[in-house]
Protein backbone atom coordinates (compact mmCIF):
# COMPACT_ATOMS: atom_id res chain seq x y z
CA UNK A 1 0.00 0.00 0.00
CA UNK A 2 1.23 3.53 -0.75
CA UNK A 3 2.45 5.65 2.08
CA UNK A 4 1.14 9.18 2.29
CA UNK A 5 4.54 10.64 1.45
CA UNK A 6 4.83 8.81 -1.89
CA UNK A 7 1.22 8.84 -3.03
CA UNK A 8 2.06 11.53 -5.60
CA UNK A 9 5.46 10.17 -6.61
CA UNK A 10 4.05 9.36 -10.04
CA UNK A 11 1.31 10.88 -12.13
CA UNK A 12 -2.16 11.47 -10.76
CA UNK A 13 -4.92 10.18 -13.03
CA UNK A 14 -8.23 12.02 -12.66
CA UNK A 15 -11.07 10.64 -14.76
CA UNK A 16 -14.01 12.98 -15.18
CA UNK A 17 -11.37 15.66 -14.66
CA UNK A 18 -13.20 18.31 -16.67
CA UNK A 19 -16.40 17.73 -14.73
CA UNK A 20 -17.71 19.28 -11.55
CA UNK A 21 -16.01 17.37 -8.73
CA UNK A 22 -13.14 16.25 -10.95
CA UNK A 23 -12.04 19.78 -11.84
CA UNK A 24 -12.47 20.85 -8.21
CA UNK A 25 -10.18 17.98 -7.21
CA UNK A 26 -7.53 19.14 -9.70
CA UNK A 27 -7.87 22.67 -8.27
CA UNK A 28 -7.26 21.27 -4.78
CA UNK A 29 -4.25 19.29 -6.00
CA UNK A 30 -2.85 22.42 -7.65
CA UNK A 31 -3.18 24.22 -4.32
CA UNK A 32 -0.95 21.48 -2.86
CA UNK A 33 1.61 22.19 -5.58
CA UNK A 34 0.72 19.05 -7.54
CA UNK A 35 0.37 19.39 -11.32
CA UNK A 36 1.75 16.06 -12.59
CA UNK A 37 -1.82 15.17 -13.49
CA UNK A 38 -3.29 13.18 -16.37
CA UNK A 39 -6.84 14.31 -17.06
CA UNK A 40 -9.35 12.07 -18.79
CA UNK A 41 -12.94 12.87 -19.76
CA UNK A 42 -15.52 12.97 -22.53
CA UNK A 43 -15.55 16.65 -23.51
CA UNK A 44 -18.34 16.30 -26.05
CA UNK A 45 -20.25 19.39 -27.11
CA UNK A 46 -20.85 21.15 -23.78
CA UNK A 47 -18.59 23.78 -22.26
CA UNK A 48 -17.09 21.89 -19.33
CA UNK A 49 -13.70 22.36 -20.99
CA UNK A 50 -13.81 25.84 -19.43
CA UNK A 51 -13.36 24.20 -16.03
CA UNK A 52 -9.89 23.10 -17.16
CA UNK A 53 -8.62 26.42 -18.47
CA UNK A 54 -7.37 27.84 -15.12
CA UNK A 55 -5.94 24.50 -13.95
CA UNK A 56 -2.46 23.02 -14.24
CA UNK A 57 -1.96 19.46 -15.51
CA UNK A 58 0.43 17.49 -17.70
CA UNK A 59 -1.77 15.86 -20.29
CA UNK A 60 -5.34 15.13 -21.41
CA UNK A 61 -6.79 11.88 -22.76
CA UNK A 62 -10.30 11.19 -24.03
CA UNK A 63 -12.02 8.53 -21.93
CA UNK A 64 -12.47 6.00 -24.74
CA UNK A 65 -8.74 6.21 -25.47
CA UNK A 66 -8.06 5.70 -21.75
CA UNK A 67 -9.74 2.30 -21.78
CA UNK A 68 -7.48 1.22 -24.67
CA UNK A 69 -4.45 2.27 -22.63
CA UNK A 70 -5.35 -0.17 -19.83
CA UNK A 71 -4.19 -3.14 -21.94
CA UNK A 72 -1.07 -1.47 -23.37
CA UNK A 73 1.99 -2.28 -21.22
CA UNK A 74 3.85 0.70 -22.68
CA UNK A 75 0.98 3.15 -22.15
CA UNK A 76 1.24 6.53 -20.50
CA UNK A 77 -0.55 5.02 -17.52
CA UNK A 78 2.54 3.12 -16.38
CA UNK A 79 3.77 6.20 -14.47
CA UNK A 80 0.47 6.73 -12.64
CA UNK A 81 0.62 6.20 -8.85
CA UNK A 82 -2.92 7.17 -7.83
CA UNK A 83 -6.26 7.06 -9.66
CA UNK A 84 -9.22 9.27 -8.83
CA UNK A 85 -12.01 7.76 -10.88
CA UNK A 86 -14.73 10.41 -10.88
CA UNK A 87 -15.88 10.01 -14.47
CA UNK A 88 -19.48 8.88 -14.89
CA UNK A 89 -22.85 9.75 -16.30
CA UNK A 90 -24.29 11.60 -13.30
CA UNK A 91 -27.79 12.21 -14.69
CA UNK A 92 -30.27 10.66 -12.27
CA UNK A 93 -32.95 10.97 -14.98
CA UNK A 94 -30.97 9.09 -17.67
CA UNK A 95 -33.16 6.33 -19.17
CA UNK A 96 -30.59 4.55 -21.34
CA UNK A 97 -29.64 1.62 -19.12
CA UNK A 98 -27.00 0.29 -21.49
CA UNK A 99 -25.26 3.68 -21.54
CA UNK A 100 -25.26 3.84 -17.74
CA UNK A 101 -23.93 0.30 -17.41
CA UNK A 102 -21.09 1.04 -19.80
CA UNK A 103 -20.13 4.38 -18.27
CA UNK A 104 -20.79 3.82 -14.57
CA UNK A 105 -20.21 0.09 -14.14
CA UNK A 106 -17.96 -1.31 -16.86
CA UNK A 107 -15.55 1.66 -16.93
CA UNK A 108 -15.35 1.74 -13.14
CA UNK A 109 -14.65 -1.96 -12.70
CA UNK A 110 -12.17 -2.07 -15.59
CA UNK A 111 -10.15 0.88 -14.27
CA UNK A 112 -10.41 -0.40 -10.71
CA UNK A 113 -9.13 -3.88 -11.54
CA UNK A 114 -6.29 -2.39 -13.59
CA UNK A 115 -5.31 -0.04 -10.75
CA UNK A 116 -5.29 -2.83 -8.15
CA UNK A 117 -3.37 -5.23 -10.40
CA UNK A 118 -0.73 -2.56 -10.97
CA UNK A 119 -0.46 -1.42 -7.33
CA UNK A 120 -2.04 2.00 -7.89
CA UNK A 121 -4.04 3.71 -5.16
CA UNK A 122 -7.67 3.64 -6.38
CA UNK A 123 -10.37 6.06 -5.23
CA UNK A 124 -13.69 6.04 -7.05
CA UNK A 125 -17.03 7.83 -6.91
CA UNK A 126 -19.96 5.76 -5.76
CA UNK A 127 -23.07 7.74 -4.81
CA UNK A 128 -25.57 8.34 -2.03
CA UNK A 129 -28.15 7.45 -4.70
CA UNK A 130 -27.33 3.81 -3.93
CA UNK A 131 -29.30 4.21 -0.68
CA UNK A 132 -32.58 4.75 -2.52
CA UNK A 133 -35.37 5.99 -0.23
CA UNK A 134 -33.22 5.35 2.81
CA UNK A 135 -35.52 2.75 4.36
CA UNK A 136 -32.52 0.42 4.72
CA UNK A 137 -30.53 3.25 6.29
CA UNK A 138 -27.72 5.41 4.92
CA UNK A 139 -24.98 3.70 6.86
CA UNK A 140 -21.60 3.27 5.15
CA UNK A 141 -20.67 0.70 7.79
CA UNK A 142 -23.31 -1.83 6.74
CA UNK A 143 -21.85 -5.12 5.53
CA UNK A 144 -24.77 -6.32 3.41
CA UNK A 145 -24.96 -3.59 0.79
CA UNK A 146 -26.95 -5.93 -1.45
CA UNK A 147 -30.07 -5.00 0.55
CA UNK A 148 -29.99 -1.43 -0.80
CA UNK A 149 -32.65 -0.52 -3.36
CA UNK A 150 -31.73 2.47 -5.56
CA UNK A 151 -34.66 4.45 -6.94
CA UNK A 152 -33.23 5.01 -10.41
CA UNK A 153 -30.91 3.40 -12.93
CA UNK A 154 -28.13 5.88 -12.14
CA UNK A 155 -28.09 4.75 -8.51
CA UNK A 156 -28.28 1.10 -9.56
CA UNK A 157 -25.31 1.44 -11.93
CA UNK A 158 -23.28 2.81 -9.02
CA UNK A 159 -24.56 0.04 -6.75
CA UNK A 160 -23.44 -2.61 -9.24
CA UNK A 161 -19.86 -1.32 -9.09
CA UNK A 162 -19.89 -1.34 -5.28
CA UNK A 163 -21.21 -4.90 -5.28
CA UNK A 164 -18.59 -6.00 -7.82
CA UNK A 165 -15.71 -4.69 -5.72
CA UNK A 166 -17.17 -6.19 -2.55
CA UNK A 167 -17.76 -9.58 -4.18
CA UNK A 168 -14.15 -9.63 -5.41
CA UNK A 169 -12.88 -8.69 -1.94
CA UNK A 170 -11.40 -5.46 -3.31
CA UNK A 171 -13.15 -2.95 -1.04
CA UNK A 172 -10.51 -3.80 1.55
CA UNK A 173 -7.85 -2.07 -0.54
CA UNK A 174 -9.70 0.75 -2.34
CA UNK A 175 -11.90 3.74 -1.44
CA UNK A 176 -15.46 4.24 -2.68
CA UNK A 177 -17.06 7.62 -2.06
CA UNK A 178 -20.79 8.04 -1.53
CA UNK A 179 -21.16 11.74 -2.28
CA UNK A 180 -24.37 13.32 -1.04
CA UNK A 181 -25.73 16.63 -2.46
CA UNK A 182 -22.55 18.36 -3.58
CA UNK A 183 -22.77 21.92 -4.89
CA UNK A 184 -20.35 24.69 -5.78
CA UNK A 185 -18.23 26.24 -8.54
CA UNK A 186 -17.65 24.48 -11.88
CA UNK A 187 -21.10 22.86 -12.18
CA UNK A 188 -22.42 25.24 -14.84
CA UNK A 189 -22.30 22.58 -17.59
CA UNK A 190 -24.50 20.03 -15.80
CA UNK A 191 -27.85 21.15 -17.21
CA UNK A 192 -30.78 19.83 -15.19
CA UNK A 193 -28.31 18.12 -12.82
CA UNK A 194 -27.00 21.47 -11.56
CA UNK A 195 -27.55 22.15 -7.88
CA UNK A 196 -30.54 24.14 -6.68
CA UNK A 197 -28.09 26.87 -5.65
CA UNK A 198 -26.97 27.33 -9.24
CA UNK A 199 -30.50 27.09 -10.64
CA UNK A 200 -32.01 29.36 -7.99
CA UNK A 201 -29.35 32.04 -8.43
CA UNK A 202 -30.18 32.38 -12.11
CA UNK A 203 -33.91 32.02 -11.51
CA UNK A 204 -33.85 34.81 -8.94
CA UNK A 205 -31.66 36.98 -11.19
CA UNK A 206 -34.18 36.63 -14.01
CA UNK A 207 -37.55 36.51 -12.19
CA UNK A 208 -36.95 37.65 -8.62
CA UNK A 209 -38.30 34.38 -7.18
CA UNK A 210 -37.50 30.70 -6.63
CA UNK A 211 -39.73 27.75 -7.48
CA UNK A 212 -39.64 24.67 -5.25
CA UNK A 213 -41.54 21.41 -5.56
CA UNK A 214 -44.53 20.88 -3.31
CA UNK A 215 -44.47 18.01 -0.83
CA UNK A 216 -46.71 15.00 -1.42
CA UNK A 217 -46.20 13.43 1.98
CA UNK A 218 -48.16 14.59 5.05
CA UNK A 219 -45.09 14.31 7.30
CA UNK A 220 -43.22 16.93 5.23
CA UNK A 221 -44.60 20.39 4.63
CA UNK A 222 -43.81 22.23 1.40
CA UNK A 223 -40.14 23.16 1.32
CA UNK A 224 -39.27 21.04 4.33
CA UNK A 225 -37.98 18.08 2.34
CA UNK A 226 -34.41 17.57 3.54
CA UNK A 227 -31.02 17.06 1.94
CA UNK A 228 -27.46 16.76 3.14
CA UNK A 229 -25.79 19.59 1.23
CA UNK A 230 -21.99 19.47 0.94
CA UNK A 231 -19.81 22.24 -0.48
CA UNK A 232 -17.54 20.96 -3.24
CA UNK A 233 -14.46 22.39 -1.51
CA UNK A 234 -15.20 20.18 1.48
CA UNK A 235 -15.98 17.22 -0.78
CA UNK A 236 -12.57 17.30 -2.47
CA UNK A 237 -10.78 17.90 0.83
CA UNK A 238 -12.39 14.72 2.21
CA UNK A 239 -11.55 12.87 -1.00
CA UNK A 240 -7.87 13.76 -0.85
CA UNK A 241 -7.70 12.96 2.86
CA UNK A 242 -8.99 9.43 2.30
CA UNK A 243 -6.67 8.90 -0.67
CA UNK A 244 -3.72 10.02 1.43
CA UNK A 245 -4.60 7.76 4.37
CA UNK A 246 -3.38 4.35 3.16
CA UNK A 247 -4.83 2.25 5.98
CA UNK A 248 -8.29 3.67 5.28
CA UNK A 249 -10.35 1.72 2.74
CA UNK A 250 -13.93 0.75 1.94
CA UNK A 251 -17.09 2.76 1.29
CA UNK A 252 -17.45 6.19 2.88
CA UNK A 253 -20.30 8.66 3.09
CA UNK A 254 -19.18 12.15 2.12
CA UNK A 255 -21.65 14.74 3.37
CA UNK A 256 -21.98 17.47 5.96
CA UNK A 257 -23.64 15.17 8.48
CA UNK A 258 -26.63 17.52 8.69
CA UNK A 259 -30.00 17.52 6.95
CA UNK A 260 -31.12 20.96 5.81
CA UNK A 261 -34.47 21.83 4.29
CA UNK A 262 -34.93 23.33 0.85
CA UNK A 263 -36.32 26.39 2.65
CA UNK A 264 -33.10 26.77 4.66
CA UNK A 265 -31.07 26.54 1.48
CA UNK A 266 -33.28 28.99 -0.37
CA UNK A 267 -33.17 31.52 2.46
CA UNK A 268 -29.36 31.34 2.42
CA UNK A 269 -29.40 32.02 -1.33
CA UNK A 270 -31.57 35.13 -1.00
CA UNK A 271 -29.40 36.34 1.88
CA UNK A 272 -26.21 35.89 -0.14
CA UNK A 273 -27.81 37.90 -2.95
CA UNK A 274 -28.99 40.55 -0.47
CA UNK A 275 -32.60 40.15 -1.60
CA UNK A 276 -35.94 39.54 0.12
CA UNK A 277 -37.28 35.99 0.03
CA UNK A 278 -39.80 35.15 -2.68
CA UNK A 279 -40.66 31.43 -2.92
CA UNK A 280 -43.31 29.75 -5.08
CA UNK A 281 -44.27 26.09 -4.67
CA UNK A 282 -45.03 24.21 -7.87
CA UNK A 283 -46.29 20.74 -8.82
CA UNK A 284 -43.74 17.97 -9.16
CA UNK A 285 -43.64 16.12 -12.50
CA UNK A 286 -45.47 12.80 -12.25
CA UNK A 287 -42.43 10.81 -13.33
CA UNK A 288 -40.44 12.08 -10.34
CA UNK A 289 -42.99 11.51 -7.58
CA UNK A 290 -42.26 7.81 -7.06
CA UNK A 291 -38.48 8.38 -7.17
CA UNK A 292 -38.25 11.47 -4.99
CA UNK A 293 -36.17 11.37 -1.80
CA UNK A 294 -37.69 13.32 1.09
CA UNK A 295 -34.76 12.98 3.47
CA UNK A 296 -31.04 12.39 3.07
CA UNK A 297 -28.40 12.77 5.75
CA UNK A 298 -24.92 11.33 5.71
CA UNK A 299 -23.71 9.47 8.76
CA UNK A 300 -20.06 10.56 8.60
CA UNK A 301 -18.95 8.88 11.82
CA UNK A 302 -16.89 6.39 9.80
CA UNK A 303 -15.01 9.25 8.12
CA UNK A 304 -14.51 10.97 11.47
CA UNK A 305 -13.22 7.75 13.02
CA UNK A 306 -10.31 7.75 10.57
CA UNK A 307 -9.04 11.02 12.07
CA UNK A 308 -10.68 13.52 9.74
CA UNK A 309 -11.52 16.36 12.13
CA UNK A 310 -11.82 19.42 9.87
CA UNK A 311 -14.82 21.65 10.45
CA UNK A 312 -17.23 21.37 7.52
CA UNK A 313 -18.33 24.66 5.96
CA UNK A 314 -21.77 25.71 7.16
CA UNK A 315 -24.55 25.84 4.60
CA UNK A 316 -24.89 29.61 4.85
CA UNK A 317 -21.12 30.22 4.52
CA UNK A 318 -20.83 27.81 1.60
CA UNK A 319 -23.75 29.39 -0.27
CA UNK A 320 -22.33 32.86 0.33
CA UNK A 321 -18.87 31.90 -0.95
CA UNK A 322 -20.29 30.18 -4.02
CA UNK A 323 -22.65 32.99 -4.98
CA UNK A 324 -20.54 36.03 -4.13
CA UNK A 325 -17.15 34.75 -5.27
CA UNK A 326 -18.14 32.62 -8.27
CA UNK A 327 -21.69 32.95 -9.58
CA UNK A 328 -21.82 36.73 -9.38
CA UNK A 329 -18.42 37.09 -11.05
CA UNK A 330 -18.64 34.16 -13.47
CA UNK A 331 -15.32 32.81 -12.15
CA UNK A 332 -14.13 29.23 -12.13
CA UNK A 333 -12.03 27.48 -9.52
CA UNK A 334 -8.46 28.58 -10.13
CA UNK A 335 -9.31 31.92 -11.76
- Find all residues with CB under 8 Å of 309, minimum gap 6, and list them: none
Burial 162-190 (b: 16+ CB within 10 A, else e): bbbbbeeebbebbbbbbbbbbbbbbbbbb
Q: How many whole angstroms separate alpha carbon 235 and alpha carbon 28? A: 10
The per-residue pLDDT for 96 is 86
DSSP state of 43: -
3-state secondary structure at position 13: strand
Same domain, 8 and 117: yes
Predicted pLDDT at 2: 42
Catalytic site residue 78? no
| Distance in angstroms (rounded) separating the CA atoms of residues 292 and 151 | 8
Question: Do 250 and 194 share a structural domain?
Answer: no
The parent domain of residue 270 ranges over: 183-228+256-296+313-335
Residues 196 and 287 grouped into a single domain: yes
Number of domains in the chain: 2
pLDDT number for residue 5: 46
Q: What is the pLDDT of residue 1?
A: 40
Same domain, 75 and 146: yes
Taking the C-alpha atoms of residue 112 and residue 132, their distance in angstroms, rounded to an integer, is: 24
CATH of the domain at 329: 3.90.25.10
Enumerate the β-bridge partners of residue 14: 39, 84
Residues 50, 64 share a domain? yes
Return the closest-CA partner of residue 268 out of 219, 233, 222, 231: 231
Same domain, yes or no: 164 and 117: yes
Task: Say which of 190, 199, 209, 291 is annotated catalytic.
Answer: 190
* Domain identity same for 198 and 324: yes
**Angstrom distance (rounded) from CA 275 to CA 277:** 6
Per-residue pLDDT of the chain (335 residues; tens, 9 = 90+): 444 548 999 999 999 999 999 999 999 999 999 999 999 999 988 889 999 999 999 999 999 899 889 988 778 898 999 999 999 877 777 888 998 998 899 999 999 999 999 999 999 999 999 998 878 889 999 999 999 999 889 999 999 999 999 999 999 999 999 999 999 999 999 998 899 999 999 999 999 999 999 999 999 999 999 999 999 999 999 999 999 998 899 999 999 999 999 999 999 999 999 999 999 999 999 988 887 889 889 999 999 999 999 999 999 999 999 999 999 999 999 99
Same domain, 92 and 191: no
Radius of gyration of the chain (CA): 19
- What pLDDT does 103 receive? 85
pLDDT at residue 308 in the model? 96
Q: Are residues 308 and 160 in the same domain?
A: yes
| 154 assigned to active site | yes
Judge contact between 259 and 297, C-beta under 8 A. Answer: yes
Question: Do 307 and 283 fall within a single domain?
Answer: no
Spatial distance between the Cα atoms of 322 and 197, rounded to a whole number of angstroms: 9
Helix, strand or coil, per DSSP, at residue 96: coil
CB 70 within 8 A of CB 114: yes
- Specify the CATH number for the domain of residue 68: 3.40.50.720
Are 97 and 162 part of one and the same domain? yes
Catalytic residue, from 8, 105, 107, 154: name it.
154
- Do 189 and 243 lie in one domain? The reply is no
Amino acid sequence: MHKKMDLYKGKVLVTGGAGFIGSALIWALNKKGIDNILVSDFLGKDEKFKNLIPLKFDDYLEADALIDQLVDPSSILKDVSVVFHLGACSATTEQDCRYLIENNYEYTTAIGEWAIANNKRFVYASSAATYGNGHQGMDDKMEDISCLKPLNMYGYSKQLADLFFQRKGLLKSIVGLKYFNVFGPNEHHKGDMRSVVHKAFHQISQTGKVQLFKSYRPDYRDGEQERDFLYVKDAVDMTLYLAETPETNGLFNLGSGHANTWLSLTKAIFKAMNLSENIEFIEMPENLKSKYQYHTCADISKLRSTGYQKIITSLEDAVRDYIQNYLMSGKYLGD
